[in-house]
Structure 1
Amino acid sequence: MNNLADLTTPYLLLDPEKMRANCERLQAHMNKLGVPLRPHVKTAKSVDIVRRMIPAGRGPITVSTLKEAEYFAEHGFTDMTYAVGISPDKLPRVARLNRAEVTLRVLLDSKAQAEAVVAFAKMERLSIPALIEIDCDGERAGLQPGDDKIVEIGRILHENNQLAGILMHAGGSYHCPDKAAKQAAAEHERMTAVAVKQQLLDAGLPCEIVSVGSTPTAHFAKDLTGITEMRAGVYVFHDLVMAGIHVCSTDDIAISVVATVIGHRPDKGWIMTDAGWMALSRDRGTAKQEVDQGYGLVCAMDGTPYPDLIVANTSQEHGVLALRKGSKAKLPELRVGSKVRILPNHACATASQFQGYVVPDGDELVFWPRINGW
């Protein structure tokens, strides 16, 4: 590949310098706070990208699917946490990885899961380390701090030497637009984690790993005393949701979908493109934010946003560009065949629509493949 103009649209364009700056920003903050970063690779799902996030190339990483775990194991990564509640039918795949010199931790929040993991591990004569999931803000799965089941589950796991620690995700931080609220969410996440660790210690149980994380709390945490690792994922690219809550600016967003203008509806104030929801995803994560970005913010090919121009609607392969409701801006003159870049609401969802990334590399273009599926 030599020229963006020669590529068939829609395609996913990655700015490697913005990605590098995003990674360096969060890593510098974690270095300052003295806590290791365990990046969540569910956003990138590409070894070409994750090797740039973790130069050592063996981990630690967080995965959201076993396919990710298997893919990264094939590329030499050996320290992983599977941060989705485990179901017993997936344990044979977990076992195959743990037998292949990979440490893959599983996540659970029920006695039934703990008993299934322990029974399977005993039957297979191996150890499957497990983390207990804690709900710190009512946004996700997990046990409430202080729940007696935490100790009960901890004892089940510890009897077979499988209790690795605790894990939580501050999903509520995605609803915190102001700095003080994000800082408060980060501190609440930390204090919850420390309290649950103490609950286990008071019961005579170990708690080696205290894992917290979300992209907003990772960036706005001021103190991580008592925390052993931070997880975050979307920071590698950022997106309009993160810009909408002021974790980043729109200029920090490292990926965009390149689309071609295929028609006009002047009677409706529409410009039609070839990037519908199959390219952009149906994610409407900015709908309840201060600024609704529709299905994506439209930019010129140099990355400059057109004033108030968003993807207002989509069908499977059509994107409808229109001015934001109430805007006094003028619809740009984009002829049929013109190219635009569309910044995504949710980087994870949009990237999952593609098989890989088109990446400018000096005067050349390279393609970094990614994996999808489960």
Structure 2
Amino acid sequence: MTVRMKIAVDAMGGDNAPQTVVEGVERARDEYSDLEFILFGKKSEIKSYLKSEVHIKIVHTDEVISMNDEPVKAIRTKKNSSMVLAAKAVKDKEADAFFSCGNTGALLAAGLLIVGRIKGISRPGLLSTLPVLSGDGSGAFNLLDSGANAENKPEHLHQYAILGKYYAQRVRGIKNPRIGLLNNGTEPHKGSKVTQEAYQLLNTDDTLNFVGNVEANAILKGAADVVVADGFTGNAVLKAIEGAASAMIHLLKNMIMDSGLTGKLGAMLLKSSLSGLKDKMDQSRYGGAVLLGVKAPVVKAHGASDDAAVYYTLRQIHKMLVEKMTPDLVSYFSHKG
């Protein structure tokens, strides 16, 4: 008998739920025979988009956490919401991972308060995967913390480096990932007291391939495989990259449309190249943002995700489960403690 891994899905989270969530789930279900899904949400709405219930279970709930809800309050008061019940399924060992496109703050709260942090982890962080645009553009890097914590201590940044290393090794297949510390200069003495002390912790940890400080203008060029930052700075950098990518595509489209017949003909000739550029800058193909440091995979996709983005994120979760990344982290920090 095949033992399938189970992913608990907040089917009502996101701008286009449940349609895009259901479509993405079915695509992942059809590709991975070792997966089952538990969809939490409004049963009639979910079923209206579902082509087949094979390896899919629906748990009905009318309660939903909206994007405007205050995160911690929503988790504590909307106990029958699709997000809370999905997180609880993981806590109760009914599912192996938790996925949502919903309220980011609420997902972080659910991960911390319901799923629970790994013993030995001081402060779980949010890991995002972003494209490297230099060379052939096929590379990527991980940014951690990308927004779970506004402030961090040096020891938190050290733990993020360890968490990021595990993710890069297990999910991305990088044997000895290069760890960089995001700073306003490459010299060891640069930055705040926190980054200076974090530099020393990272530099003296022989288990890490620490390449030193990296500046923001170097991370898209592939300066490191894992870039460590406090949550405030990491989130600001993440939003800046996302905004710049979106603005560049928009500007390019406007320039083509305003360039007359010659420009449009040129764009037609370069259509495949321009499409390739858009794909390289598409963050969703790497999956969602992972809350690392909790007892099971907790992953958040963008609220505006389409079915492809949902599928990519479920593929990412499948890889995390197959590689047993979280159990290995639990083991590592239990021995370290």
TM-score by length of 2: 0.30
Higher relative contact order (CA 8 A, sep 6+): 2
* Between structures 1 and 2, the one with greater helix share: 2
Larger radius of gyration: 1
TM-score by length of 1: 0.28
